[in-house]
Structure 1
Amino acid sequence: MFKPSFTISPDVLSAISEITETKVIVERSRVLPLNELHLKRQALIRMVHTSTSIEGNKLAEYQVDRVLSGMSVAADDKSIMEVKNYQEAVKEVEKLAERKEKLTLDLILKIHAITMKGLLEKEKTGGFRPADIYIIDEMGGGKEKLRFKGPDAKDVPKLIKELLEWLKHAEKDNLHPVLKAGLFHSQFVHIHPFSDGNGRVTRLLTTYLLYSDDWDFRKVIVLEEFYNKNRQDYYNALAYNWETQYAPGADFTDWLEYFIAGFLVEARKARDVINSLGFNLKDSPKEQTYLDTDEIKILDMLSGKFKITSDEVVDTIKVAKRTAQLKLKNLVDKDLIEPKGRGPSTYYVVKE
């Protein structure tokens, strides 16, 4: 079974302590519903942009915003599809995490299928790689250097099953969610189980683990921004204490120090932006809006989809069509959303 070797330094302990304190501040902060919705929307845009950028996607952040909003951009079809797929994968991660579903082999393959739809051959989409995989660095002048060779393809299913079994033990042993997510991140990417899409799926599953453990920081934290800020640092951190070929027994200490330091940076950013929008800055009756559970779910849907219809509300909160329409009207009356279109084609977007 996978048994990661690592040492928790005083700096790591201190960082985890501050991250925990920051999480409490973020969760307890009173933020206006419309402000929180805008924060979640911006976080999703940044998450999709940075995670796909790490893998070479050329779309700028404003273009990603347009794509996620259903607007056209002057870009190649592949780049647009990568962004749309990632948005769908994030939505699926959020839905599964909300239901507290345990991470399984089938769930991993499902996330890969959503992420890589139309980007890989069908037989390689939603399935483990059929052959060995090599990560090559271009050195210039026609020269190449082997950075890493993944484990043999025949060993991938076994390694993933061992990693999933370790997750069960980590939960029973009450391993801190941030440590658990960090260790999973490194081991999964080193198994490199797919023909393509390994980095994206690794980051999606790391998000899934954190969300499942209620470490989502109200979905305004974007760890990918830290990785994308200096991609070479991210690659170097993943390579700490690993040879150029997969082998069990690597020490994860250096990677965890990088991962947790980055987590703290992004947690502080989430805290600061939440605090800047607290109720203590506003006190007009209009801004002190209170929402019921269903209205919160509808706004959560909008933070990921950017536009919704009454039929989608029916499917999500399991109410009659008339009830869904009334709830949408309540949100319109509260000046949080606005309708677009007319008749059967009506949909709703966040009020700017």
Structure 2
Amino acid sequence: MIQTSTLQITPEILALVAEIDEFKGAWRALGTLAPERLSALRRVATIESIGSSTRIEGSRLSDREVEQLLSNLEIQSFGSRDEQEVAGYAQLMETVFASWQEITVTENHIKQLHRDLLRFSDKDERHRGEYKTTSNSVAAFDAEGNQVGVVFETANPFETPRRMAELVDWLDQAQQGELHPLIAIGIFVVVFLEIHPFQDGNGRLSRVLTTLLLLRAGYAYVPYSSLESVIEQSKEGYYLALRRTQGTICTEAPDWTPWLTFFLKALQRQMRRLRQKVERERLLLAKLPDLAIQILDHARDHGRITIADAVTVTGASRNTLKGHFKTLCERELLVLHGQGRGAWYSLP
């Protein structure tokens, strides 16, 4: 059984929960941007999430390559395992964003989500949607995709069905009790990863489940800022927090604090990034001419922009656009790379 009687809500954890909940309440006002602006924020966040979550597990695809792959997703023919994993993650994310209200966290739904996550993965065809049948362990990977060591051992296949049933039952009770949703989600995720119920895809599925649970708990801003990219940028801290807590989960006095502190700090960074983006959007919409906003939109959606791109997108003359690019650089809203014909611009 999951033991939470030793759970300690430290002042730091309490402050993190309060700040995240304050933003949750403020999102109704902050999220009143035009639909196309929200759509642009969500698209960027989705690409970042897919790229980061698959890279954490060893993929080598950049966000740019992920974006190119998503633009041809309807082809459903992928040349590498990395592409197969990205395609499955992308489609599952869209399913969660579209149907989170109908997806309760049951064992059957978790298995269905796992099946959909690996739908394009040839290597995983035999075990997708089913609990593991052989032992597995959590490994860490370097930037080149090479395994650099085992992070921790996981539940054995024999005890996995029982422990998953206990975890889902615990979550259901926690959601009906007095435990704060963010604390309950954090504990669910760390226990899920300690069990590691599937042969492969557990890390990616844990991040999808995190998004699903946050949406079901009322954190409606989640699709517009990537939690996965925050975790990717804090990967050492991620594995360290997991190891510290997961080594105690099966004891009489689990230490939830290391993981919950990391998890809530990641949610805090996710929230603060979105708050900054929304404030930036409001500033731009209030003070920038339409041509300048179109330039920034293209740079945000595609990662970069040239003057030739801007001519195509806006239909304006090169001379007119050069003035806008100069102003945007002076205001530190764009960064110039290179010179002459090879010059291009990106967001700071």
TM class, shorter-chain normalised?
A: 0.7 to 0.9
Q: SS of the counterpart of 1:124?
A: coil
Instruction: Please give the alpha-carbon distance, in whole angstroms, between the structure 1 residues aligned to 2:222 and 2:151.
Output: 37
**Match for residue 195 of structure 2 among 191, 194, 208:** 191
Q: Secondary structure at the match of 1:129?
A: coil
Amino acid at match of 1:115: L
User: 2:149, 2:284 → 1: CA distance?
Assistant: 56
Residue equivalent to 1:54: 56
Counterpart amino acid of residue 161 in structure 1: A
Paired residues, number:
279
Counterpart of 1:15 in structure 2 is 16
1:77 paired to 2:80: yes
**CA distance in structure 2 between the aligned counterparts of 1:40 and 1:97, rounded to whole angstroms:** 16
Cα offset, 1:185, TM superposition: 1.1
Deviation, 1:276, is 2.0
Instruction: Report 1:282-293 matches (<5 A).
Output: 282=286
TM-score, structure 2 as length reference: 0.73
2:36 aligns with: 34
Q: Equivalents in 2 of 1:241, 1:41: separation in Å?
A: 34
Q: 1:135 to 1:18 in 2, by over 3 A?
A: closer
RMSD: 2.8
**Aligned equivalents of 1:40, 1:138: Cα separation in 2:** 28
Gaps of 5+ in 1: 287-302, 304-352
| Residue-by-residue CA offset, 1:196-223 (whole Å, 9 max, x unaligned) | 1110011111111111112131521211
Judge conservation of contact 1:93–1:208 (CA < 8 Å) in 2: yes
2:211 to 207, 213, 218: 207
Q: How big is the shift at 1:134?
A: 2.9
- Indicate which of 114, 126, 137 corresponds to 2:116: 114
Corresponding residue of 1:128: 131
Task: Give 1:144 deviation, angstroms.
Answer: 8.2
Superposed displacement of residue 164, structure 1: 0.7
Query: Which residue of structure 1 aligns with residue 320 of structure 2?
Result: none
Q: What SS does structure 1 have at the residue aligned with 2:151?
A: strand
Alpha-carbon distance between aligned partners in 1 of 2:285 and 2:126, rounded to the nearest angstrom: 54
Matched ranges for 1:118-267 at <5 A? 118-119=120-121, 120-135=123-138, 146-217=150-221, 219-243=223-247, 247-249=250-252, 250-267=254-271
| Cα distance change on mapping 1:190 and 1:24 into 2, 3 Å | same
The 1:257–1:137 alpha-carbon spacing in structure 2 relative to 1, beyond 3 Å, is closer
Moved over 6 A (4+): none
5+ residue gaps in structure 2? Answer: 291-300, 302-348
Relative contact order higher in (CA < 8 Å, ≥ 6 apart): 1
* Counterpart in the other structure of 1:274: 278
Distance 1:246 1:257 in 2: 16
AA of the residue aligned to 1:77 = S
User: Aligned-pair distance for 1:171?
Assistant: 1.1
> Which residue does 1:321 correspond to in 2?
none
Taking a change above 3 Å as real, the CA distance of residues 166 and 91 of structure 1, as seen in their structure-2 partners, is same
Distance 1:162 1:14, change over 3 A: same
